[in-house]
Amino acid sequence: MKIGIPKALYYYYFFDKWQYFFEQLNIELVTTDTDKNIIERGNNYANSEMCLSLKIFLGHVDYLKDKCDYILIPKIENFGLNDQMCTNFSCLYDLVNNLFDVKLLTYEINHLKKRTEKKGLIKIGEQLGYDKKILKQAYKVACIKQNKKRKELIIDNLNKLESTNKKVLIVAHAYNIHDDYIGKIITKNLEKYNIEYIYSDLFNKVDDLSFYLAPNLYWKYSKESIGAISYCKENIDGIIFISTFPCGVDSLVNELVMRKIDLPYLNLIIDDLDAEAGIETRIESFVDIIEQD
């Protein structure tokens, strides 16, 4: 059995746990990296109001539809009253179900209705014919392995704050920071100038610190990103904001925060027409600024 995982949006938050869970069941996961072909595939199904990140997601679904038995698409509503998700995360299942002729696996995360990841994955496993006892053990192992890996990544991220090089905090959603088409272009250019970059998504329990810059946020991942600014501000030389056009949440949150910070910053809004040369030029100018500071 093969289950396809679109390498976009929720992939960058949940894939490690899914991988560890399904490998306990001897189920193969299928993914692919983002490239221009994936973007073009996504554009065939997207409308003008969809952000680039969502177009990328649709492109991955189109690529995977003939290469696996199922595609996993959860419905993620919230992790509590004040930890809401972008509406894209809750509508993905219905969107894909209406656009593509594929077999889908889904579960819901909605803590206000007591619908959790653990319950959802166990339910999927039961649908696939596995014993509940085996599924509970598989989920336990997946959590242990995922927590260990994330702890290592967080420690590495924190250690970068001690670097003697110029340091930049990259503030963005994980699915933009780590995507090959979006974030990797930016980190590759920073490496050319020997700039240490720190990821806003690799900190532990900093969401409460977002209060100092944006006290009324209730989007979970926005709070974590902005909280990272408050946590790092004394140890960094600048900030790069990354968002994909036309993300409504980022256009509001980033603009609000940029008015309050007193560090050099660069605001990059990426769409599928952006040329890499233009991004390189803007990063080069930004590096000049922080090196002169």
pLDDT in the model for residue 274: 65
Is the predicted pLDDT of residue 275 greater than 90, yes or no? no
* Confidence category of residue 49, pLDDT binned at 50, 70, 90: confident
Q: What integer best gives the mean pLDDT of the chain?
A: 95
Number of structural domains the chain divides into: 2
User: Are 133 and 169 found together in one domain?
Assistant: no
Q: What contacts 24+ positions apart, CB below 8 Å, involve 284-289?
A: 284/189, 284/193, 286/238, 286/240, 287/166, 287/190, 287/193, 287/195, 289/238, 289/264
Tell me the sheet residues that pair with 219.
Answer: 84
- Supply φ then ψ for residue 163, to 5 degrees: -65, 150
User: Are 36 and 114 found together in one domain?
Assistant: yes
pTM value is: 0.94
- Supply φ then ψ for residue 180, to 5 degrees: -60, -30
Joined together, the tokens standing for residue 225 give: 């990103």
pLDDT in the model for residue 199: 98
The region of weakest confidence among 85-89, 218-222, 262-266 is 85-89
- CATH number for the domain harbouring residue 128: 3.40.50
Give the tens place of pLDDT for each residue, 77-115: 999 999 999 888 889 999 999 999 999 999 999 999 999
User: Are 216 and 84 found together in one domain?
Assistant: no
Burial 8-38, CB ≥16 within 10 A → b, else e: bbbbbbbbbbbbbbbebeebebbbbebeeeb
Percent residues over pLDDT 90 in the chain: 91
User: Are 141 and 30 found together in one domain?
Assistant: yes
pLDDT in the model for residue 48: 84
Q: What is the DSSP string of the chain?
A: -EEE--SSTTHHHHHHHHHHHHHHTT-EEE-----HHHHHHHHTT--TTS-HHHHHHHHHHHHHTTSSSEEE--EEEESSTT-B--HHHHHHHHHHHHH----EE--EEEGGGTB-HHHHHHHHHHHTT--HHHHHHHHHHHHHHHHHHHHHHHHHHHHGGG-SS-EEEEES-HHHHS-TTTHHHHHHHHHHTT-EEEETTS-SS-GGGGGGT-TT--BHHHHHHHHHHHHHTTT-SEEEEEEETT-HHHHHHHHHHHTT--S-EEEEEE-TT--HHHHHHHHHHHHHHHHH-
What distance in Å separates the CA atoms of residue 51 and residue 77, rounded to the nearest whole number? 19
Q: Is residue 154 part of a domain?
A: no
Q: Is residue 155 part of a domain?
A: no
- CATH number for the domain harbouring residue 284: 3.40.50.11900
Which residue among 125, 149, 173 closes a domain? 149
Q: What's the domain range around 181?
A: 163-292
Q: Is residue 215 part of a domain?
A: yes
What distance in Å separates the CA atoms of residue 64 and residue 70, rounded to the nearest whole number? 9
Average pLDDT over residues 271-283: 83
Q: Is residue 192 part of a domain?
A: yes
